[in-house]
Structure 1
Amino acid sequence: MKRVFLLIATNIAVLLVASLIMSILGVNPSTMSGLLVFAALIGFGGSFVSLKISKWMAKKTMGCEVITNPRDSDEKWLVETVARQAEQAGIKMPEVAVYHSPELNAFATGPSKNNSLVAVSTGLLHGMSRDEVEAVLAHEVSHVANGDMVTLTLIQGVVNTFVIFAARAIARAIDTFVSSNDEEGEGMGVFAYMAVVFVLDMILGILASTIVHYFSRIREYRADAGAAKLVGANKMIAALERLRQGPESNAMPAQMSALGINGKRSAAEFFMSHPPLEKRIEALRNQ
């Protein structure tokens, strides 16, 4: 419930701020240009707010324990390994954290290359060899060095803007058509219009998500290649093989599952945020 509350509160805050900005600017969302501005404010606003608070949100939703003073040899090794890799990648040292979960997973997030968080699950830390964990950490550091969080935020912002604008533009066209064929010229009515917008938001959102997933899969290949440069392709292949032998990732909430190294699987690849592990392994072997 805490995760749902945080997500809802964030979206409500974005809506309120966007409405306030539009009121100050005198933008009327009833015009097409006003609608486009409204869509961009909501679409990009929500994405950038999520990016800005991504570290805080990750810590809260996943229960991350940031390592400030290592409590044991494993934590000391984690911090030292990330520090070494960050220096190799030319980025500022990320915060390093551990979260309690039996699944083999890890993720990186943060608003910029020099303000990031790398976190690993206790299941991954204790269920993999150090060479494999080192490769996973290199994968996450590569995400940070590639600026993947910002890139995906921009893509998500464009997609959100398109969905918000298109859904309302189509709903208006339907309303105009109904009104022109209605003797009283009343159109669909407020509730019917809102219902149409809601359905279109859902349908267009699902279709648009395939675009985001496509770019997300590309960034996974790039992060695998980056990890291979940092620690060697054999270590990265061994880590992916270990993930392939384990169960599907289910512990992460939906809004964070794309961040993990071990993504959720699907029968249709274009609905997956991560390429199949077999394809990732093959790509490393062929590079």
Structure 2
Amino acid sequence: MNIIKTGLLLAALTALFGVAGYLLGGTNGMLIALLIGAGMNLFAYWNSDRMALAAYHAVEVDESTAPELVRMVRDLAARAEIPMPRVYLIENPQPNAFATGRNPENAAVAATTGILRLLSREELAGVLAHEIAHIKNRDTLIMTVSATIAGAISTLAQFGFLFGGRDGERPNPLVMIGTMILAPLAAMIIQMAISRTREYDADRMGAMICGQPMWLASALAKIAGGVAHVPNPDAERHPATAPMFIINPLSGHGMDNLFSTHPATENRIAALRELAGEMGAQPPHAFDSEPRGGTGPWARSQRGPWG
């Protein structure tokens, strides 16, 4: 059902793009809009991962620089039956993580230093499994396309006066102003709806990959609290990337409404608790949820069920 919903939302976003172009410039405006959208999507398809990683100054790591992190990602990728993604670290105190890439063969997982300090090894495994699930589901491409189309709609609305009206006619000022205001707003709402749909799916699949839904549930509670108190200047400079993260890096909003980039954390945790009951997983008190100071979660030699 979520796959169908996502497809319908993407179709609505694409249709909105064409309608905005038509209202601003008639047939010519619609054609120009479609050309802009195609060009932006093509560029984003090939370069979105590099752009996202560069925006956050992410540094690629390997087994010589972050052995435990890389091995954990490799084990989880093997469990998910996808190629090993590249692994990046972001020097940022805010606890967060994201995945990017156009397909499983060209994907990357990035985690902040803040999340490594905050979470236990088990909780971090739940987070990374969530990001692996995004890669397996090709959500990284879906979110890239939706973000690109939404951005193109905003650009189209801002420069609508260049089209010269509907098929050479003088544009109706009210229509132009209304389109410039409402089209980006509608695009944002649809983009957020796509993001929220994919987060629920990734939570569920990630829990299945690592084998313990409550690991991710505990991690989400901690990350939400950390994000609410630790600002992320890079995210503020690049707000369009917010849907990529496991928790919205821009704020600690808890309302699951049209203007949220992510579902309410409480709703996600409730869904994971329900899944844990279905799977017969251990309750939250049965796993280590204490933050790891100093050497971080990598000090532990115990391997989870992914190994």
Is 2:101–2:107's contact at 8 Å kept on the other side of the alignment?
yes
Alpha-carbon offset, residue 45 of structure 1 = 2.3
Taking the aligned partners of 1:81 and 1:213, their CA distance within structure 2 comes to 30
Alpha-carbon offset, residue 103 of structure 1 = 0.7
Alpha-carbon offset, residue 257 of structure 1 = 1.4
Aligned residue in 1 for 2:165: 172
Q: Does 1:151 align with 2:150?
A: no
1:150–1:198 Cα change, 3 Å: farther
Any residues of structure 2 matched to 1:118-129 within 5 Å, and which?
118-129=109-120
5+ long unaligned stretches in structure 2:
1-23, 276-307
Taking the aligned partners of 2:69 and 2:63, their CA distance within structure 1 comes to 12
* CA offsets 1:222-257 (integer angstroms, 9 cap, x no match): 111011101111111111121233232641231221
Q: Does 1:262 align with 2:247?
A: yes
TM-score (norm 1): 0.73
Is 2:227–2:252's contact at 8 Å kept on the other side of the alignment?
no
**SS, match of residue 53 in structure 1:** helix
1:198–1:70 Cα change, 3 Å: farther
* CA offsets 1:20-73 (integer angstroms, 9 cap, x no match): xxxxxxxxxx984433221112123223422321221122211111013422xx
Aligned residue in 2 for 1:284: 272
**SS, match of residue 263 in structure 2:** coil
**SS, match of residue 270 in structure 1:** coil
Is 1:44–1:160's contact at 8 Å kept on the other side of the alignment?
no
1:285–1:48 Cα change, 3 Å: farther
**SS, match of residue 89 in structure 2:** strand
Larger Rg belongs to: 1
Alpha-carbon offset, residue 285 of structure 1 = 1.7
Q: Name which of structure 1's ranges 41-50 and 139-148 shifts more when overlaid on structure 2.
A: 41-50
Aligned residue in 2 for 1:34: 28
Aligned residue in 2 for 1:44: 38
Aligned residues: 241
* CA offsets 1:113-152 (integer angstroms, 9 cap, x no match): 2101100000001111111111110011100000002223
**SS, match of residue 267 in structure 2:** helix
Q: Does 1:107 align with 2:130?
A: no
* CA offsets 1:92-119 (integer angstroms, 9 cap, x no match): 1110010100011001011212101100
Is 2:256–2:262's contact at 8 Å kept on the other side of the alignment?
no
1:63–1:31 Cα change, 3 Å: closer
Counterpart residue type for residue 193 of structure 2: Y
Aligned residue in 1 for 2:76: 85
Taking the aligned partners of 1:160 and 1:76, their CA distance within structure 2 comes to 38
Taking the aligned partners of 1:270 and 1:256, their CA distance within structure 2 comes to 17
Any residues of structure 2 matched to 1:178-193 within 5 Å, and which?
none
The percentage of counterpart residues that share the same residue type is 28
Alpha-carbon offset, residue 269 of structure 1 = 1.9
Any residues of structure 2 matched to 1:51-70 within 5 Å, and which?
51-70=45-64
1:196–1:31 Cα change, 3 Å: closer
TM-score (norm 2): 0.69
Taking the aligned partners of 2:39 and 2:201, their CA distance within structure 1 comes to 27
Counterpart residue type for residue 111 of structure 1: R
* CA offsets 1:208-230 (integer angstroms, 9 cap, x no match): 21011001001011111011101
Alpha-carbon offset, residue 262 of structure 1 = 1.4
Higher relative contact order (CA 8 A, sep 6+): 2
Aligned residue in 2 for 1:12: none
Taking the aligned partners of 1:158 and 1:62, their CA distance within structure 2 comes to 22
